[in-house]
């Protein structure tokens, strides 16, 4: 498993990362997936305090155990909930960030977080206070680096220049190319992107026909348009999963693709697809997709 530098930090993370949100709440099943990922060379696991209202962090922390030092753990903060009360609300106040960090440390069974991410954000937030808080946590050794999970360009453009954030987690795939216009800016600020939604809810896998039956469309595509695009791609490439990963990793600003797995079988499919990406010579997949996108633009 190849690794890439996360922004200008000293962290080297695997090109494929494990997304924790899809993990089973059954600790045995979750452990089988995490252990399989680590054995395959994945060293970056992404979770959030909001996932299963903290239990996702607890499960991951319990599984890692003595392997903790070999793993770069990323978690998130900002969505606040109260025990016994339905739902959650946004709270990016300095006091809550500090409170939530200590709660995440306890659940994960560790004394530091490798990458602490703001789980969203609005332009009205107290960005000076947020950034000062993350910087203080870094100075105290409670976090190694910090970043943000957001697809809002106004937020990203406010956050990065004023901070030493090293990561931006955002949805990006061959079917959702909106972030491309921001990649150069993110790189110029010393940060990398870690992507989510790489396989577009399974549409960019060989099970796309089955997945397509469950959706009316995706992003700006209607179901009919998706059929045309995915048929075109599958006629040129025998593994859309590999294509999806190759498409994302062709971008030097992208450090890793975060892909979830709810079973060992799903993870095995991702690992198999990753092994095939070098067979897509010079990422011809990207060129082919561009042709199909041009066709779609003139539909």
User: What pLDDT does residue 56 have?
Assistant: 93
Residue 158 burial by CB count (10 A; 0-12/13-18/19+): exposed, middle or buried? middle
Which residues are marked as active site?
51
User: What pLDDT does residue 117 have?
Assistant: 97
User: What pLDDT does residue 150 have?
Assistant: 94
- Please, which residues bridge with residue 167 across strands? 147, 192
Stretches in the chain below the pLDDT threshold 50: 295, 298-299
User: What pLDDT does residue 15 have?
Assistant: 97
The residues, ordered by sequence, that sit 6+ positions from 292 with a Cβ below 8 Å of its Cβ are 229, 232, 233
User: What pLDDT does residue 279 have?
Assistant: 66
138: nearest Cα among 165, 118, 119: 165
- The residue assigned the tokens 């600020």 is 189
User: What pLDDT does residue 111 have?
Assistant: 96
12-14 and 3-5 strand pairing: antiparallel
User: What pLDDT does residue 280 have?
Assistant: 64
User: What pLDDT does residue 6 have?
Assistant: 98
C-alpha separations of 33 from 23, 64, 280 in Å: 8, 12, 27
Cα gap 171→174, rounded to integer Å: 10
User: What pLDDT does residue 126 have?
Assistant: 96
Contact 77, 97 (CB under 8 A): yes
b/e string for 41-58 if b means 16 or more Cβ within 10 A? ebbbbbbbbbbbebebbb
pLDDT digit string, tens, across residues 51-89: 888 899 999 999 999 899 999 999 999 988 777 777 778
User: What pLDDT does residue 292 have?
Assistant: 53
User: What pLDDT does residue 299 have?
Assistant: 41
User: What pLDDT does residue 245 have?
Assistant: 94
User: What pLDDT does residue 73 have?
Assistant: 98
């Amino acid at each position: 498993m190849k690794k890439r530098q996360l922004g200008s930090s000293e962290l080297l993370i695997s090109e494929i990362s494990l997304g924790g949100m899809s993990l089973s709440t059954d600790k045995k099943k979750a452990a089988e997936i995490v252990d399989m990922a680590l054995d395959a060379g994945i060293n970056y696991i992404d979770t959030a305090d909001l996932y299963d209202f903290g239990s996702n962090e607890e499960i991951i922390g319990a599984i890692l155990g003595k392997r903790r030092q070999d793993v770069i753990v990323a978690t998130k903060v900002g969505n606040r909930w109260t025990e016994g009360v339905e739902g959650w609300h946004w709270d990016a106040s300095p006091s809550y960030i500090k409170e939530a960090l200590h709660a995440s440390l306890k659940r994960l069974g560790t004394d530091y977080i490798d990458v602490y991410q703001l789980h969203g954000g609005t332009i009205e937030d107290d960005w000076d206070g947020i950034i000062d808080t993350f910087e203080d946590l870094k100075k105290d050794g409670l976090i190694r680096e910090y970043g943000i999970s957001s697809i809002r360009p106004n937020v990203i453009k406010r956050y990065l220049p004023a901070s030493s954030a090293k990561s931006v987690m955002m949805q990006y795939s061959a079917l959702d190319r909106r972030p491309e216009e921001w990649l150069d800016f993110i790189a110029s600020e010393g940060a990398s992107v870690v992507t989510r939604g790489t396989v577009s809810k399974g549409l960019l896998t060989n099970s796309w026909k089955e997945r397509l039956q469950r959706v009316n469309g995706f992003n700006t595509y209607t179901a009919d348009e998706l059929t045309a695009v995915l048929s075109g791609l599958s006629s040129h490439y025998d593994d859309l999963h590999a294509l999806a990963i190759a498409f994302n990793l062709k971008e030097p600003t992208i450090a890793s693709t975060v892909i979830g797995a709810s079973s060992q079988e799903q993870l095995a499919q991702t690992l198999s697809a990753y092994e095939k990406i070098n067979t897509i010579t010079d990422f011809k997949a990207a060129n082919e997709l561009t042709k199909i996108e041009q066709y779609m633009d003139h539909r």
